[in-house]
Structure 1
Amino acid sequence: MAEAHQAVAFQFTITPEGIDLQLSYQALNQIYLSGVRSWKKRVSRMRNRVIKGVYPASPSSWLFVVIAILATMYMRSDPSMGLIAKIQQHLPLSLHVSLGAQGQTMVSALLFSTLLWLSLILALRFCLKLLLSYHQWMFEQHGRISNTTKVWVTLVRLLSGRKPLLYSYQTSLPHLPVPGIKDTLSRYLESVRPLLTDVEFKRMTELGNQFESTLGNRLQRYLKLKALWATNYVSDWWEEYIYLRSRSPIMVNSNYYGMDFLYVTPTPVQAARAGNTITALLLYRRKVNREELKPSRVPGTVIPLCAAQCERMFNTTRTPGVETDVLQHWQDSEFVAVYHKGRYFRLWVYQAGRLLSPREIEYQVQRILDDTSPPQPGEEKLGALTAGDRIPWSEMRKQHFSSGINKRSLDAIERAAFFVTLDDEEQGMKGEDPAGNLDRYAKSLLHGKCYDRWFDKSFSIVIYKNGKNGLNAEHSWADAPTVAHLWEYTLATDAFQLGYTEDGHCKGEVDRMLPRPQRLLWDIPSEVQTQVQSSLAVAQALANDVDCHIFPFVKFGKGRIKKLRISPDAFIQIALQLAYYRDRGGFCLTYEASMTRLFREGRTETVRSCSNESCAFVRALEDGETEDECRRLFRLASDRHQNLYRMAMTGAGIDRHLFCLYVVSKYLGVDSPFLKEVLAEPWRLSTSQTPVQQMELFDLKNYPDFLSLGGGFGPVADDGYGVSYIIVGEEMINFHVSSKYSCGETDSHRFGAQVSKALQDIMTILAPDTKTSSSSEGGAQPQSKKLN
């Protein structure tokens, strides 16, 4: 729209009488207003930089220091102990000439005050970093807080400031420490002990000892050297080698999804749901840009978490390369890219510097829905290039999308704030088969038709024909909690803040003079169309192999678990171990994602949930041991799991350290049989909890049906399971299970039934006075008056 206005803002013709200049004042006014918005954003960024730069102090504290210094000087005292006089002696000669003695003293005092103020800021920041480096509080029992921790909490509160911006804590967060190599190897061997026979464990122990005494210490020195100058010794390598260098499809293998409310859909009008959803996302972006979001904290504490992942949330695309992909981020974007029935559109969401109202965005989306023009040759399935292997996509992009009309259209997609798919299908828990419909809903969000999503975008929003929505997120730029925070805000703002009229439309007025959404144009040669079909075949084979099963467990939730004084996460993880043992007849290496955002630019660490203690409990239960013995072993397993989780969060994990040692070995050109074997071990059970971070946004007491389904991901191992779960309210746990049809040993529905039964069996053991149903369905058919 801005480009169009610039093109028609003025016209001129040359006549015999001279040049006839014609100005469009309306267009010039819109350009002016758009420029005002841009300058306001620049001023806001500059202001925020100043506020962040002096945190944990405030800019106004400078004036307080200056007044205090001048006041003491007025009382004929020298607070600088002679430094002000020395500064005065070294003032430029021009100031000596132009200023009198009193003026020189004043300037010197201001300079001293400023230096003192900056020194105090650095001291406060250093103290806050030291305080945030203290993690012993995590290992103390609930209700038994030490005096040291009480003093520490008080000091953190004093130094944290009253109203920090989103990124205020970044420079005060500690750096991720490099664990001792001996400690990491010891913890690793302990983690694999229940998975190995005595002979295998002895061999692995010898490999580990040999690694430590030879190559290990050398690699460790290089890693410590990196940790001295790098903000985080893991994150850049993790992003590069785990995500961006992968040449296989990111659809299913890397991208993950988030779902709408379980029981309700705020409106059945597709365009209206799109209008509110897009508006809510842009309001969130405004908060991110202005840094008005409150910094995330460890639940129930004052401890801040790193917010660096928010920086690339919007206006970001993963672009393909031959050897590695690249994340491209633009400062701002005034439009979103929209896909509908094989056509691509650019939808401008700002007009003359203002954000369109939800009703106006609905109006524009409806224009797209009503557009009956057919796709251009090769356009309909073009998105399959982002779903297939990365190298062919990189080659096609370089050869056919680097100039001309194709480049302009591709730029419109890649520079968009985010991607929107107006899906022509209906999804959600509806009809006579709610359980099966949930499974299909998950698969649709995970991969769709393999060509109607743009999997390279930081995230894509899907709006279904019946008003249901969801998202698909690219993984390299951020982890699920960051996207979950965005999605919680979006759902809550859509349903409770923006709302709808009685007939299901968005609220607000409409300017019907808005320019129509811009249809993107393409010139797709036959070579590209052939590659599109090839990439689509690869993607469809991958999508068809995914077995998704979604089920809400409603027999009990965290309310009853916490009454037993057990961590809900530990309870679920041990139940997953029991379910896997019953499903496959043994144990496996288990991955549970834990955040390391207590540290600057922290991402994740692995909690190896399959422990000696959890295996002992499972064997005791399956062997028919007494309930008292099973309860004792469960408590030990729960305590062990909590300790493993805390160690992972505080930088004492296993896998990121070993991964970085392996990267160093590759840079040095040396091979380590130990590291090679460790990193080749398959994660047959990959799990993750989706945290609920903003419960204050949802009034579950008055609106109990507005429950989130959470999200999920594809299986990590070809012969394993991917399990995501979200603990919603006090009485529900939603599970997302995935596996592959091609593996004859896995079955997502069978494993889901085992998970449900394991949860109930453990609760029966721990709380024998409150017997639960042993139905293997375990709440797969949730009871609610509202099914859609």
Structure 2
Amino acid sequence: MAEAHQAVGFQFTVTPDGIDLHLSREVLRHIYLSGVTSWRKRAIRFKNGILTGVYPASPSSWLIMVIAVLSTMYARGDPSLGTIDWIKEALPESDYLTAQTQTVVSAVVFATGLWLVLIMLLRYTLKALLSHHGWIFECHGRKSFSTRVWLNVVRILSGRRPLLFSFQASLPRLPVPSVDETISRYLESVRPLLDDEQYKQMETVASEFKKGPAPKLQRYLKLKSWWATNYVSDWWEEYIYLRGRSPIMVNSNFYLMDLMYVTPTHRQAARAGNVIHAMLQYRRKLERGEHAPLRALGVVPMCSFQYERMFNTTRIPGIDTDFVQHLSDRKHLVVYHRGRFYKVWLYYGGRHLWPSELELQFQRILNDPTPPQPGELKLAALTAGDRVPWARARLMYFSEGVNKTSLEAIETGAFFLTLDDEAHGYDPEKLKSLDLYAKSLLHGKCYDRWFDKSFSLIAFKNGKMGVNVEHSWADAPIAGHMWEYVLFTDSFQLGYTLEGHCKGDVNKGLAPPTRLQWDIPVACQEIIEGSYHLAKEIADDVDFHGYVFDEFGKGLIKKCRTSPDAFIQMALQLAHFRDKGEFCLTYESSMTRMFREGRTETVRSCTSESTAFVRAMEDLKQKKDECLALFQKASEKHQQMYRLAMTGSGIDRHLFCLYILSKLMGIDSPFLKQVLSEPWRLSTSQTPQQQINLMDLQKYPRYVGLGGGFGPVADDGYGVSYIIVGEDIVTFHISSKFSSPETDSYRFGQNIRQAMLDIRSLFDQKNHTKIEKVVKKTL
């Protein structure tokens, strides 16, 4: 036991001569190092807190301001216009303060106040500038003169080397769109999905809502937008995620995959050691706020609020609603292997464990032959089943004794690690390798991931890795940012020996991992089995297909002067129509992180323009140049909708908040009820890449990620996640349900492939037409 091993460092014996005290120098050294590390960490956090608190100014600017004011006074001037004299009179009388000292103190107080006022002025100026979004509506690569001036002013006011949270106080609030604009855009979005009679009925219901409860609900929503930091995010987290009582496995959690072509080592313990050491490095920089903030165009900052709860965070089940528990720095993680749980300390002597030390600890777990305790094997299935049985079991069986201690170790850990006993990864020569890899990350065996942790890291037997992420605390780009840092740090900074082990000496004096103890009664084991069987039904119903499209990629699409995202979205519309013979309400996730505490907004990709393009493609009589014109029109419409969503003028979050208000106020709205009950039969999302410039992708083209994915949203629909990898590859992650006779993930993947090729052929035809014109002119 680790606790027993550490306790022997301090011993005492009572003798007739008194107390014989024995102290271990090694233990005292570790206590000293831990204290030094702790105080150093506090000092760095304090310093970075000050830098963030006074941003965009700097602490040195305060000294410059004080010197400037004092210099002016010594030159017999009064920059304060009498304010310094007023402060001097207000100072309490003291025998220790001479008249000259009082003057200096008053001047310093005035300079400090003036400095703070200037900081606030700079912040509000920067906030006003960041509220301008005209640049995003300009053609790509064509910045107007006013936009270039605006970017330069923002760049100047942003200062040098901002920290992760430096811009938080300068970010604008998410604006509340007008009801008229939202309803108008909503009706436009559903027009291609409704016949004339249905559309006329929807117009009538929408008109009644506008004339009835809408103004009242809008007033309350505007009041909330003035009072709260973000009028959407807290309700989105509570009502979309935490109040859901159904399983979060598959239905909510998502996954991230490893590198596509490269496996740095096939030693499971070594790969886990390097990856976790890289995560600890990332966490240290995160806690100090030392990561560079993500900025569009290298200038416009994105909100960093979601990063705060990445580590040391767990979703705690409740009867009516869950809550997110976030703790300060935690020094351990919990590891699962073959039905056993282990607590592993991440620090030694005030420092992170080296990768070689972590490898040793994980290898000890892999070598442990002891069997699971009764009820331990499938314990984590509680987090995969319905939330209410898990909440009740937690209160009844995990509120005292060893069960409470062990559960606290899991829930307070930095994150969760599974040393999987299976081998997975992408192998182009093996059929369905990507499918099985994705399903393992998405749900595994339903009892070998702790789905409530902010994220569970999975290390497979062959050295491949992956992450399962709980969704309530953050969105995919946040976890993706961390994962990029970890993969590139693992490959390019830490590295491995020729034998595939972690570099560095092995400290065999480390206390071994602590086996968590459980006393799970039979009644609780029955609840665990019930959760497992429900989760198993959900997992077995997931029809997954992963497809690497390598015919062409972003490079060729950009040459066609088209947005890669719009190109893929139009391909998805065409593929879906061919797959099902109809159009459907389509969800594409876009971010609103240009606003403080912004999360996501919906882009409704199925538009009148996209349906016209799809119908033209399916009409054999339609000419290709006409199809191309319709495609370009549909793409431009999609880009416009994406920009509106990013700049706070989306449809769905506004309607969602109005619906929540109507429920809270007891107002029945047929319009809002119908809007919120419409199923998203095609749910899509793009996984971002290259958020961190740690590696030159052109120099190392094989070091590309596979992206990630999620489960199907509708029972009879598809979930599609895609990542545009480099210049020549697009990877699709497609999910649906076997229980639906209308869907087939493999079939849909083939339809996507053909749709991509068919759209490209339109541009081939365009180029061919240009060549013909040139030839004719020459003749």
> Is 2:66–2:108's contact at 8 Å kept on the other side of the alignment?
yes
Deviation at 1:349, TM superposition (A): 1.4
- Indicate if the aligned counterparts of 2:710 and 2:721 stay in contact, CA closer than 8 A: yes
Amino acid aligned to 2:510: L
What is the SS of the residue equivalent to 1:93? Answer: coil
- Give the residue type in structure 1 aligned to 2:505: E
The amino acid of 1:480's aligned partner reads A
Separation in 1, partners of 2:20, 2:535: 57
Q: Equivalent of 2:591, from 591, 595, 599? A: 595
Q: Name the amino acid aligned to 1:499.
A: G
Residues in 1 aligned to 2:170 and 2:478: alpha-carbon distance in whole angstroms: 20
Task: Name the counterpart of 1:520.
Answer: 516
Aligned twin of 1:551? 547
Task: Select which of 260, 263, 266 maps to 1:265.
Answer: 263
Per-residue CA deviation, residues 690-733 of structure 1 (Å, 9 max, x unaligned), is 01133632333343222211000000000000000000110000
Q: Distance in 2 between matches of 1:517 and 1:591?
A: 45
Does residue 20 in structure 1 map to residue 17 in structure 2? no
Q: How far did residue 35 of structure 1 move?
A: 2.4
1:197 alignment counterpart: 195
Supply the AA of the counterpart residue of 2:352. L
Q: Quote the offset at 1:404 in angstroms.
A: 1.1
Aligned match of 2:721: 724
CA contact (8 A) 1:764 1:770 kept: no
Q: Deviation digits for residues 737-773 of structure 1, max 9, x if unmatched?
A: 00000000000000000001000000001222789xx
The letter for the 1-side match of 2:548 is P
**Contact preservation (8 Å) 1:2, 1:31:** no
Query: In structure 1, what is the Cα distance between the partners aligned to 2:298 and 2:180?
Result: 32
| Counterpart Cα distance in 2 of 1:695 and 1:337 | 28
Partner of 2:338: 341
How far has the Cα of 1:397 moved from its partner?
0.5
Residue 282 (1) aligns with residue 274 (2): no
CA contact (8 A) 1:132 1:173 kept: yes
Greater Cα offset, 397-406 or 596-605? 397-406
Q: What is the SS of the residue equivalent to 1:11?
A: strand
* 1:409-437 superposed Cα distances (whole Å, 9 cap, x missing partner): 1111111111100000111134852x411
Query: 140, 157, 160: which one pairs with 1:162?
Result: 160
Matched, 1:479 2:475: yes
CA RMSD of aligned residues (A): 1.4
Question: Quick one: distance in 2 between partners of 1:664 and 1:614?
Answer: 33
CA distance in 1, matches of 2:55, 2:602: 32
Report the counterpart of residue 86 of structure 2 in structure 1.
86
Q: Unpaired segments of 5 or more residues in structure 1?
A: 772-788
The size of the alignment, in residue pairs, is 767
2:688 counterpart letter in structure 1? P
Matched, 1:315 2:332: no
Instruction: Say whether residues 1:562 and 2:554 are aligned partners.
Output: no
Aligned to 1:381: 378
Residue 214 of structure 1 corresponds to 212
SS at match of 1:700: coil
Structure 2 gaps of 5+ residues are 769-779
Question: CA offsets, 1:58-105, max 9 Å, x none?
Answer: 0110001011111111221111111111111111112xx322221111
Question: 2:568 aligned to 557, 568, 572, which one?
Answer: 572
Partner AA of 1:543 in structure 2 = A
Q: Which amino acid aligns with 2:444?
A: G
**How is 1:3-152 mapped onto 2 (pairs within 5 angstroms)?**
7-94=7-94, 97-152=95-150
CA distance in 2, matches of 1:421, 1:476: 21
Paired with 1:288 and 1:224, the residues of 2 have a C-alpha distance of: 33
Is 1:455 aligned to 2:476, yes or no? no
- C-alpha distance in 1 between matches for 2:759 and 2:585: 21
Q: Answer yes or no: is the 8 Å Cα contact 1:340–1:421 preserved in 2.
A: yes
Confirm or deny that 1:673 pairs with 2:675.
Answer: no
Provide the secondary structure at the position in 1 that maps to 2:547. Answer: strand
Amino acid at match of 2:189: S
Q: 1:466 aligns with which of 453, 462, 469?
A: 462
SS at match of 2:499: coil
Please tell me the residue identity of whatever aligns with 1:410.
Answer: L
SS in 1 for 2:724: strand
Which secondary structure state, in structure 1, belongs to the residue aligned with residue 471 of structure 2? coil
Structure 2 residue 530 is matched with structure 1 residue 534:
yes
- Quick one: structure 1 residues 461 and 200, their matched pair in 2 at CA, closer, same or farther if it must change by over 3 Å? same
Give 2:774's aligned residue. none
**Alpha-carbon distance in structure 1 between the residues aligned to 2:64 and 2:304:** 30
Taking the aligned partners of 1:531 and 1:607, their CA distance within structure 2 comes to: 40
Cα deviation 1:132-159 (Å, max 9, x = unaligned): 1100110111343223222211110110
Which 10-residue stretch deviates more, 525-534 or 45-54? 45-54
Other structure's SS at 1:763 match = helix
Q: Is contact 2:551–2:728 with CA below 8 Å preserved after alignment?
A: yes
8 Å CA contact 2:609, 2:634 repeated in 1: yes
Conserved? CA contact 2:481–2:692, under 8 Å: no
Distance in 2 (CA, whole Å) between partners of 1:82 and 1:431 is 78
Q: 2:169 aligns with which of 168, 171, 175?
A: 171
The DSSP-based 3-state class of the residue aligned with 2:472 is coil
Query: What amino acid sits opposite 2:39 in the alignment?
Result: W
Please state whether the residue corresponding to 2:344 is helix, strand or coil.
strand
Q: CA deviation at 1:47?
A: 1.4
Q: CA deviation at 1:352?
A: 1.0
What amino acid maps onto 1:208 in structure 2?
A
2:625/2:765 contact within 8 Å kept:
no
Q: Alignment partner of 1:283: what SS? A: helix
What SS class does the counterpart of residue 43 from structure 1 fall into?
helix
Using the alignment, how far apart are the partners of 2:253 and 2:219 within structure 1?
Answer: 35
Taking the aligned partners of 1:746 and 1:760, their CA distance within structure 2 comes to 22
Give the C-alpha shift of residue 4 in structure 1: 5.5
Partner of residue 577, structure 2? 581
1:407 and 2:408 correspond: no
The amino acid that maps onto 1:53 is: G
Q: What's the offset of the Cα at 1:16?
A: 3.0
Deviation string for 1:26-46 (max 9, x for gaps)? 223212322222222222221
* Partner SS state of residue 759, structure 1: helix
Kindly indicate whether the alpha-carbon contact (under 8 Å) linking 1:461 and 1:470 is maintained by their aligned counterparts in 2: yes
1:632-651 deviation line (CA, Å, top 9, x unaligned): 11111011000000000000
Q: Of residues 683, 686, 691 in structure 1, which corresponds to 2:688?
A: 691
Residue 6 of structure 1, CA deviation: 6.7
**Could you tell me how far 1:553 is from its partner in structure 2?**
0.4
- SS of alignment partner, residue 323 of structure 1: coil
Residues 6 and 31 in structure 1, CA contact (< 8 A), matched pair in contact too? no
Task: Show the counterpart of 1:503.
Answer: 499
Partner secondary structure for residue 582 of structure 2? coil
- Tell me the equivalent position of 1:761: 758
